[in-house]
Amino acid sequence: MPREIIGRFDVIRLSILDKDGNCDESLRPQELTEKDYKKMFELMLLTRIFDDKCLKLQRQGRIGTYASTLGQEACQIGSAYAMNGSDFVFPAFREHGVFIARKMPMEMILQYWGGDERGDKIPEGINNFTVAIPVGTQILHAVGYAWASKLKLDKSASIVYFGDGATSKGDFHEAMNFAGVFKLPVIFLCQNNQWAISVPREKQTAAKTIAQKAIAYGFEGIQVDGNDVISVYKATKEALDKARKGNGPTLLELYTYRMADHTTADDASRYRSEQEVKEWKEKDPIDRLRKYMQNKGYWTPEYEKQIIETFQMKVEEAVSKYESMPKPNPADIFNYVYKDLTPELKEQKEYLINFLRRLE
């Protein structure tokens, strides 16, 4: 029996804005205006200022263990900026920029990382799911929501964030397979920041890219320059438009770098070199957009100085609100799990309440 080729597959890499701020105008989304670039730049700056404050608060014992977004601002703001309010976000644990762009109050983000469950009680009208600390579980949740949306003929899409480490979990593959079979309106957004704690990207898979994993499940995978906010916006918007039209899922591999430690409980200097970090600092996503905006006449030092001062005040106000909140009720660890508690959780909650009473 002769051998025959039954398929050939390509993986596209999208990069529009280089590290020096030079833009490929043939690829740039034409709908983006000066106002849009300024808004994305400001959201990226706000995310970085907030992130820096959180690191300081953790070191001072004012919040708990914290996962930094440093270096991944373009991934988060570019993708969030492409969404509609009706789209539903399923985060991992590093998506503070997405939350900020989606109008989640910063004091509530601080509240969550301070160990207060009320901080993860998403306000009405904000279509964000709660933070997922277990690696990969939120991928299945996003697919479930997308399936429900399709059954209800709802035109919204779901978008799920995860890291390169999560692609080694069964949850990822099960979710991708299900989404491909049923052509669900979901975007799998992998922030490939090169390190899953101390495990490097090359130890996660022998594949040349993470994006190509989508091919096995029957849909498109694209590798995107994750430090280019314009590329991230364009790829996410096109994937969302395709999903809303009933044309199925997309896997976006946002190729970026985790500039900080995995969390404040980690020491990245033990497993990666200073030279590697230095090379990635030259690809800083905020600096890249700043150079482009300066070339276009959208940016001045005075403009940035003013917005930095404004954002620093906003972040400090959020810290004040967070630290002036009444102490949480320990029973809240049960109150926000489900709309209605299961019998098992009711029993555990009652046990905790009685235990705390005995300590009084």
Give tens-digit pLDDT for 220-267.
999 999 999 999 999 999 999 999 999 999 999 999 999 999 999 999
Superfamily (CATH) of domain 12-328: Thiamin diphosphate (ThDP)-binding fold, Pyr/PP domains (3.40.50.970)
54-78 pLDDT, tens digit each = 999 999 999 999 999 999 999 999 9
Choose, from 141, 262, 288, 290, the residue flagged as catalytic.
262
Phi, psi of 254 (to 5 degrees): -90, 105
CA angle in degrees (0–180, nearest 5) for 237-243-246: 145
131-184 pLDDT, tens digit each = 999 999 999 999 999 999 999 999 899 999 999 999 999 999 999 999 999 999
286-298 pLDDT, tens digit each = 999 999 999 999 9
What is the C-alpha separation between 11 and 323, in angstroms, rounded?
Answer: 48
- Give the containing element (helix H, strand E) for 14: strand 12-14
Q: Quote the pLDDT of residue 258.
A: 97
Choose, from 13, 59, 271, 351, the residue flagged as catalytic.
271
CB of 340 closer than 8 Å to CB of 314: no
Residue 336 has pLDDT above 90, yes or no: no
Going from the C-alpha of 213 to that of each of 163, 200, 269, the distances in angstroms are: 14, 18, 30
Choose, from 258, 288, 290, 322, the residue flagged as catalytic.
258
Mean per-residue pLDDT of the chain: 96
What is the C-alpha separation between 78 and 235, in angstroms, rounded?
Answer: 9
258 is catalytic: yes
Residue 339 has pLDDT above 90, yes or no: no
Q: Quote the pLDDT of residue 331.
A: 87
CA nearest 336: which of 99, 33, 130? 130
CA nearest 104: which of 129, 69, 139, 72? 129
Each domain of the chain, given as residue ranges in start order, spans 12-328, 329-360
Place of tokens 């404050």: 53
217 is catalytic: no
CA nearest 161: which of 183, 194, 128? 128
Q: Which pTM does this prediction carry?
A: 0.95
288 is catalytic: no
Residue 359 has pLDDT above 90, yes or no: no
What is the C-alpha separation between 220 and 239, in angstroms, rounded?
Answer: 9
CB of 292 closer than 8 Å to CB of 17: yes
Tell me whether residue 272 is exposed, middle or buried, using C-beta atoms within 10 angstroms of its C-beta: 0 to 12, 13 to 18, 19 or more. middle
CA nearest 303: which of 74, 101, 42, 78? 42
CA nearest 248: which of 170, 177, 161, 171? 177
pLDDT band of residue 332 (cuts 50, 70, 90) is confident
What is the C-alpha separation between 339 and 120, in angstroms, rounded?
Answer: 14
Residue 1 has pLDDT above 80, yes or no: no
Q: Quote the pLDDT of residue 81.
A: 98
For residue 136, the one-letter residue type is G
100-134 pLDDT, tens digit each = 999 999 999 999 999 998 999 999 999 999 999 99
The 8 Å CB, 24+ separation contacts for 313-318 are 314/46, 314/106, 315/46, 315/49, 315/50, 315/53, 315/106, 316/53, 318/50, 318/105, 318/106, 318/107, 318/110
